[in-house]
Amino acid sequence: MRRRTTKILERHGLGDRLDIVQELVDEVSWAFAASEHKLTRNGRGGPIDGPEKLLAVLVPEILKGHGMRGNRLQGDDGAIGMVAELEAVAEATLRRARTEDAKTISRPARTSGAQETRGSDPHRPVAEIPE
């Protein structure tokens, strides 16, 4: 996230603003910590993703706090603006952290002696067990 955010800021002439990058990382971290909380509403529809919606509000607020105003669209051609780019990176990072958190984030174990003896077939027993 840091690299992508820094590249976006560089593209908009703000590459030396690492304080903005750190604030965005902090907000995504807080949103991830709060991602277990679900907002419910009466009536139809599923729960609202509060942390993701909050990120959509906080990204422009962080930029505004540093004296920058960004648009969601840039120019008349409809190109994506700095706010929309940073918001997309923050939300994608949050979604990725949520899905990776559900999995085990580790490297595979080293091959043990028993695995080498068994060979490439994981279902073949290491030794025959007499009845």
Q: Where are the domains of the chain?
A: 2-100
Local confidence pLDDT in tens for the 131 residues of the chain: 889 999 988 988 887 788 999 999 999 988 888 877 777 777 777 777 778 888 888 888 998 888 877 666 555 566 777 888 898 899 899 888 888 655 544 444 555 555 555 555 555 555 555 55
**pLDDT score for 105:** 45
pLDDT at res. 70? 65
Q: How far apart are CA 59 and CA 37, in angstroms?
A: 20
Question: What's the predicted TM-score (pTM) here?
Answer: 0.64
Closest residue by Cα to residue 109 from 126, 122, 128:
122
Burial of 95 (0-12, 13-18, 19+ CB in 10 A): middle
DSSP 24-72: HHHHHHHHHHTTT--B--SSSS--B-HHHHHHHHHHHHHHHHTT----S
